[in-house]
Amino acid sequence: MISFAHRVFMEVAANLSFSKAAQVLFITQPAISKHVKALEDQYKVPLFERKGNSILLTDAGNKLNEYLQQATEIERKIEYDLSVLSNLSQAAGHLRLGASTTIALYILPSILSGFQREYANVDVQLVNRNSEYILNALLNHEVDIGIIEVDNKLTTVSYTPFMSDEVIPVCSAKSPLAGKSLTLKQLLKTPLAVRERGSGTLNAVLKSLSALHIKPADLSVKIRLGGTEALKNFLLADQCLGFMPRPSIIRQLAEGDLVEVPIEGLKITRDFFFIRRKGTEDYGLTSNFINFALGHQ
């Protein structure tokens, strides 16, 4: 098992801050410093380079952090693999899951509820951010598995198809745009509310528009909002046009609060994938979750 001192080191390395590590671990900052100093004495090398109020990992610190990440994955594999030897339903472990906003808010809740009923001894931690953030979290070993929209595949990541959805142009029922359809030329002059940069929804919109030879600079973007719910609530209150994942506005469309605005020649679809770091595909807990999710969409 990885020692507590090593876990302290990993938390400091993740945050590059002794004070933030202390907050996360609920211990004092002097205690953090004591554990790090003990490791530096043990290995006879400095693990952090201190520059004023900031710190950086030394080469030795980076190497230790790399090995500890590998050791942590092995430790968790052992916990899961031994727990399922007699009965899969007794599976135990910690699943760190990251998902883009649409998936986290509108697709995963029912899947996670069923998964936890079937595997009561598995602790699940869900990180809900945009696709770019989740990909970086996976690469930085902050999550074990992600679910995101994918445009360009990386060689260091393995991809398993999950589902597809549609992004549609909508406006408030109170907007002058309600009940109309737009040409591409009219779209360019229409005030837009869009998601923040790094959002998979925004990337899907821009990709589809690019195929029609429309660049981001051609659009009349009025406001950028971080998160699906923020964008949805803005569109309900405003009169401009926005692009929303269909699963996120099913109720608003059914009740007539939001109205789809067809745009000539524009159809936006996107594919979601499970993502894992190459070399971790044999971790039974993530594979088990993927199989469960695919069977309970």
Instruction: List, for residues 19-37, the tens digit of each pLDDT value.
Output: 999 998 999 999 999 999 9
Give the predicted TM-score (pTM) of the model: 0.74
Which residues 6+ apart lie within 8 Å of 223 measured at CB? 193, 194, 234, 240
For position 167, what pLDDT does the model report? 96
Q: What separation, in Å, do the N-terminal and C-terminal C-alpha atoms of the chain show?
A: 36
pLDDT at 263: 97
Q: Count the Cβ atoms, other than its own, within 10 Å of residue 152.
A: 4
Output the pLDDT for position 70. 86
CA distance 149 to 153: 10
Q: Which residue has the higher pLDDT, 83 or 287?
A: 287
State the pairing for strand pair 191-195/241-245.
Answer: parallel
Kindly list the domain boundaries of the chain, sorted by start residue. 4-72, 90-163+272-295, 165-269
Q: How confident is the model at residue 61 (pLDDT cuts 50, 70, 90)?
A: very high
* 14 Cβ contact list (under 8 Å, min separation 6): 21, 140, 142
pLDDT of residue 113: 96
Q: Does domain 4-72 have CATH number 3.40.50.720?
A: no
Spatial neighbors of 110 by CB under 8 A, at least 6 apart, are 296
% of the chain with per-residue pLDDT over 70: 99
User: pLDDT at residue 180 above 90?
Assistant: yes
Mean pLDDT of 248-252: 96
What pLDDT is recorded for position 172?
97
Average pLDDT estimate for 85-100: 83
What is the spatial distance between Cα 88 and Cα 86, in angstroms, rounded to a whole number? 7
Question: For residue 51, what pLDDT is reported?
Answer: 84
**pLDDT at residue 204 in the model:** 93
According to the model, what pLDDT value does residue 124 have? 93
- pLDDT by residue (tens digit) across 99-124? 998 899 999 999 999 999 998 889 99
The secondary structure of the chain in percent helix, strand, coil, rounded to multiples of 5, reads 45, 25, 30
Q: Across the chain, what does the average pLDDT equal?
A: 92
Yes or no: say if 141 and 75 are a contact pair by the CB < 8 Å rule. no
Q: What is the pLDDT of residue 282?
A: 77
pLDDT for the residue numbered 84: 76
Residue 151: phi and psi, rounded to 5, are -105, -55
Q: How far is CA 90 from CA 121, 136, 213, 295, in A?
A: 7, 32, 54, 20
pLDDT for the residue 92: 81
Residue 47 DSSP symbol: -
Neighbouring CB atoms inside 10 A of 236's CB total 17
Structure-model confidence comparison of residues 94 and 159, the more confident one: 159
- Indicate whether 203 pLDDT > 80: yes
What is the C-alpha radius of gyration for the chain, rounded to an integer number of angstroms? 23
Residue range 165-269, CATH number: 3.40.190.10
Give the three-class secondary structure for 271: strand
CATH class of 90-163+272-295: alpha beta
Note the pLDDT of residue 74: 85
Q: How far is CA 13 from CA 16, 63, 69, in A?
A: 5, 11, 11
pLDDT reported for residue 117: 92
User: Which residue's entry shows tokens 């445009």?
Assistant: 151
90-163+272-295 has the same fold as 4-72: no
d(CA 80, CA 284): 7
Share of residues in the chain with pLDDT > 90 (%) = 76
